[in-house]
Amino acid sequence: MLCVAYGSNISEKWMQKHCPSAKFVAKGFLKHTALCFHYYATIERAHDYETPVVVWDIAESEVLNLDRAEGYPKHYVKKDVLVVPRPTMTVEQMAALVGADNVHVQGDFMDDPSGIWGTAYVMTEWKKHEWEKHGWQTPIEYVEHLLAGYREQGSGSRRE
């Protein structure tokens, strides 16, 4: 499974804890989405925003581990999303990296980029309301963990 990570799973250390065979595929972004917090992170549609992400290749035998860690399907559901690679790749480069079936070829509209299809875990409406109902705030330790993961991925440790 190509897993699109934007929260805790962006950290290689965190991902390796749940999916030891996870392999880094690419960095990129999700168009028209914003990183939002309902105690934990999620992504939501937002026209003028982009969310930076990392794509991991997860062995099918380890997907259940990640499902459990994400509270799937009660807390998070899986959604297919289109990752626009950064730096830019040709369609041929993307196909060589993830296979042609996982590549979307740009249509005629500027708003429809070429990209890599992957699966993101997105918070359920039920879970959002549960957090809001209790009025719990996002812990600073969690935010620091996410920031560390984003720094890790932007640190140049990955080949551009």
pLDDT in tens, 43-55: 999 999 999 999 9
Burial of 119 (0-12, 13-18, 19+ CB in 10 A): middle
The whole-angstrom separation of Cα 48 and Cα 68 is 32
The whole-angstrom separation of Cα 57 and Cα 99 is 12
Q: How does pLDDT run across 99-122, given as a tens digit for each residue?
A: 999 999 987 666 678 999 999 999
Contact present, 118 and 80 (Cβ < 8 Å): yes
pLDDT given for residue 33 in this prediction: 96
pTM for this structure? 0.90
Burial of 103 (0-12, 13-18, 19+ CB in 10 A): buried
Name all domains of the chain by residue range, CATH numbers in brackets.
2-154 (3.10.490.10)
CA atoms within 13 A on the CB side of 50: 14
